[in-house]
Every structure is written in C-alpha cells, then in structure tokens.
Chain A
C-alpha cells in the first residue's frame, strides 16, 4: 500500500544571528542553514496494517507523514501510496487518504458540524447511501450526536477530535494518517478514538499510520512499530520483537510478613549473580528484585523468599514499551 524508498527532506533557511546587530548582519549575509529533517528512510506498509510511527520531538515523524500525504515534496527519494506519488498527484491521492492532525483541526471553524459533514460529502463525492451508512457507523463508535449542530469553534477538544476523526473517515479512505490524534484527550475520549480506529480497520481493511507520544495508543492498536530518530529509521518490526530485544529485565516485588527473616539471606550469593544481573531492594515490609530474565527464573526467587518467611502478595512487572522507548530515545539503538 505504501512504499517509501530512500526518502529525504532537507530544509534550507537563511542563517540567523542573535540580537539586533545579528539581524542586520543576517540581512546582508547569504549564509544558509541546512537541516536534514528526514534522512534516507525506506519502508513498506501492507494493506490493512496498523503501524505505530514513533520518535522523540523533532525526530522527523511529521515531516515524513507530510511527504506521504503529499503536503511536502521530498528533496530526494520517493514514495508511493496505493500506486500514486502523493506530492505529484495530490488531488488523486487525497481521495484515497484520511488525515487527522491532533494539533490542528481541518474542519470549517465557523460552520456547524452537521454542515461540515455535508460539505465533505460533496467534496469527496460520497453517495447518499454510503453517507447515511457511514454516518450511522461513525456516530455509533464516536458518539457525536449531542453536538452535531454546534459550531466547530464551540466544541471542546475531545468533541473536536472525534469530529475530526469522523471527518477523515467519511469517504472511507484506504489509508488513514493519524498525527498525534489523542494529544490532550481524557481517558474516555482516548478510548473511544482507539475503538473507532480499531473498528474501522477491522471493517474496511484501512491501513493506519499512527504517530503518538502516548505509547499505550500504540500498544493497543499496532503490532508493528517504526522508530525514527534524527530523521533515520532505527527500528522497524513488531512490538513483541522489540520487547524481546530490549525487554530482558523483569521486576518482582514481594510483600512479606517478616522482613527481618530475610536479613540473613544474600541473594547474590544464593543465585551466584553479580549486582548487574540482579538488583535487590528491601523496604519496610517488601523486597523487590530487578533481574535479567534470561539468567534467573521468577519461581526460584519466590521459593527462596518463601523459605524465609510467609508471603502476603506478589507483584510481577513486565518491561513496559515506554521504558524501552525511553531508553532508545536516550541512548539510541
């Protein structure tokens, strides 16, 4: 569905100097600053896939999405969406895609929402029957009945985002681009947005590309993620795989009856592991272990603790994708 080949985007802007003197200097100098926002990225996305496209602020996510939607023209390389080069055939491409930018609405600010939908119906040439069916479907998953006659500018953020998503889906696009669609939303609205995306994907095999800083969006919706950093793709694969690669750490916290009873046990010695592979922390009534799951089994730890004292509760934590991504943003792959 989407093929991106060696795509790069470079922004060139005149060099700026600080202060008033600097501004004058800038007026007469011809120096340019080049910024490579997207650096030679390639990937392919199949029909019906839902892909999380993530990276820290300024990593190049939005820029690459804008090239895929046809807003920007790549400096070099190319991409095709459903066989169309988006920045060369914008209007043709636009009929196939739906776009939601969380930061910026695409609705008509001064019109009631209902009018917006009827204009979009004309813009995308949606037949009366399809329009009716889809409005029913979208209304059901996104629930905008209560504010459909309100003017767009009077909507709350949560209402507006639901409306924006509905507007992007009205023509049943083949590809849906979501650029931070859940930013600033409360948990209930977030959930209904995710639900809608999931159902649309299941129902119509819509290809979805999602950028977000809320990784729970990704975990709930996507199997595959592409991580981009400083304009380059640094990871492209399944979430399960990245957890496999980076999620070697497990942590377990055991609430015990008598912490004193464990005083005598040296867990490093018992398991014959260094502090790097096993970290132990004792608190008032609990003891927690942070360890590499490849060298130590949880059941061993627990049975060892139970030898010493009675156990009240056990909490096991898998590696969170958030932790992995934080690690990657900080240190690279």
Chain B
C-alpha cells in the first residue's frame, strides 16, 4: 500500500511536469469546461425568470444542487479520466498489454497513465457555486456538515469512477464500448437537477440502474433540508461501495478474457 502511494506521487509529479510544459493546452481545456458549466447556470437562471419555483425547489437551491454535483464529477474526471481509453482503444488495439506486463495493479496503472487537468474547470465552478450558496444562506456550515460533505464528495466520485469502469470494462468482451459508456455517462447530466422533476422511468434508472441520483441530488437534498441523513448520504456511501465492488469485479473478470491484438 505504501508503495502505491509512493508510485502515485511519482506519476503525479511526472504529470505536473508535463503540465507546466503545455500551459496553453491546460488553460484552453480549463476554460472550455469552465464555460460549458457556466452556460448551464445561465440557462437555469433564464428558466427561473419565467417560473418562481420548480416542483417546490427555489432557484438558489437548484444552484446548490448544480454546483454540488460538479465537485465529485470534477474529482473523478481529474483522477480517472483515462478509463475512457480502455473503452475506446486499449482493448481493441491491444495496447492494454503493457499494463499486464508490469508488477503493479493494472487498474492503478490505467488511472495513473493520465490525469485530466481540464477537470479543474468543473471544480472551480462547483466550489464557487457551493460558496455562493453558503453566503446566501441556502446551506449552513457546521463541523458535521463539513465532514459529511467530504464523505459525500468522495463517495460520489467513487460512484462516477465505478460506473465508468463498469461500462468501459465491457470492452474486454465487445472490444469497443465507447458508445455505451458515453450513453451511461451522459445520464449523469440528469443528476444536476432535482430527481423529483423527472417522470418515473428516468427516476428509476437514476436510482437503481445507473445510480447517479446518489452522486448529487440525494446528498445535496440533505444539505438543503437537513432531513434523513441515513437515506441520503448513508445510502450514497452504501451504493458507492456496492457499485465499486461490482465494477471492479467486472474489470478483473475482463482481464481473464482479454484477447490482445495480433501483430
């Protein structure tokens, strides 16, 4: 375990070095994600110019949910973005070989191969909106809340990672799982808004099939209302544990059916 921490630092240092070398790329990427998140907020405020509240939620509350959702998403995006490569090229081109030839965990190598600095754009937007919500008293800061916030963000990021890993690992069987991964990942966009505004079918999917509702809406609703910590953040942590175990098991199983590519 200590060795892995050490190795992680080695990889992270390398990444920082290459980041410094390509400042322009970094700034453009960061700006891109920052802007696309800001447009989301602008859109939300335009909608609220027409209606006073949405299904009982005020504009301020929606801004908090929206911002809160960005943080686990940004963390996952920053740390494990390379999982996408598993879905789109490592398996089909046989490039996954090299992860199986080194004496360290293949999943660890997969995520260490690249960090995604652009995600900082999402994190900035997320934190800015959360701070905004604290300042306008939409949510209150207490030591317990801060602790729960950290737990929730971590569990949320783990749910993101697991869902990505699960669908990307299907590539071991179907060679290229980018389309299905993209579809699954984009359902996360629904989770930026209150679950209660959606019809039954979508609610069912987001709760039980691709549990993105637990990443943002359920924990955010706890911070907004202070009710039901077990059913919101407790459930989030439990779901995070379950989906991670499933996704990692599928990944491990995938390694045994991996067929490489001819050369």
Contacts and interface: CB of A to CB of B under 8 A. Distances in A.
A95 B103 CA distance: 5
A103 B10 CA distance: 28
Interface in B106-158: 106, 113
Contact of A103 (B256, B259, B263): B263
A115 B260 contact: no
Interface string A91-104: 11011010101011
Contacts of B94: 104
B262 A62 contact: yes
Contacts of B262: 58, 62
Given A101-B263, A103-B263, A110 B18 contact: yes
A92 B7 contact: no
Contacts of A69: 100-101
Nearest to A99: B101
Nearest to A87: B256
A72 B101 CA distance: 11
A91 B104 contact: yes
Given A90-B255, A106-B101, A115-B17, 18 more contacts: A62-B262, A66-B97, A66-B260, A90-B100, A91-B102, A91-B103, A94-B100, A97-B101, A108-B14, A110-B18, A118-B10, A119-B10, A119-B14, A122-B6, A122-B10, A123-B7, A123-B103, A124-B103
B248 interface: no
B104 A123 contact: yes
Contacts of A125: 3
A123 B3 CA distance: 9
Contacts of A97: 101
24 contacts: A62-B263, A66-B260, A70-B101, A71-B101, A72-B258, A72-B259, A73-B256, A73-B257, A87-B256, A90-B255, A91-B103, A94-B100, A99-B101, A104-B95, A104-B98, A106-B101, A108-B14, A110-B18, A111-B14, A111-B18, A122-B7, A123-B104, A124-B103, A179-B263
A15 B102 CA distance: 34
Given A66-B260, A91-B105, A104-B97, A119 B11 contact: yes
Interface string A105-123: 0101011000100110011
Contacts of B259: 11, 72
Given A71-B258, A103-B263, A125-B3, A94 B101 contact: yes
Interface residues of B, number: 28
A79 to B, nearest CB: 15
A94 B105 CA distance: 11
A122 B7 CA distance: 7
B103 A106 contact: no
A34 B113 CA distance: 35
Nearest to B10: A122
A72 B103 contact: no
B104 to A, nearest CB: 6
Contact of B103 (A62, A87, A94, A108): A94
B11 A71 contact: no
Interface string A50-71: 0000000010001000100111
Contacts of B3: 125
A73 B100 CA distance: 12
B23 to A, nearest CB: 15
Contacts of B6: 122
A304 to B, nearest CB: 52
Interface string B77-108: 00000000000000000110110111111100
B171 to A, nearest CB: 15
Interface in B51-89: none
Going nearest first, the 3 A-B pairs with the smallest beta carbon separation are A95-B103, A94-B103, A103-B263
A11 B106 CA distance: 23
Contacts of B101: 69-71, 94, 97, 99, 106
Contacts of A73: 256-257
Contacts of A119: 10-11, 14
Contacts of B104: 91, 123
A295 B105 CA distance: 62
A148 B101 CA distance: 23
Most buried by A among B97, B256, B260: B97
A72 B262 CA distance: 12
Nearest to A97: B101
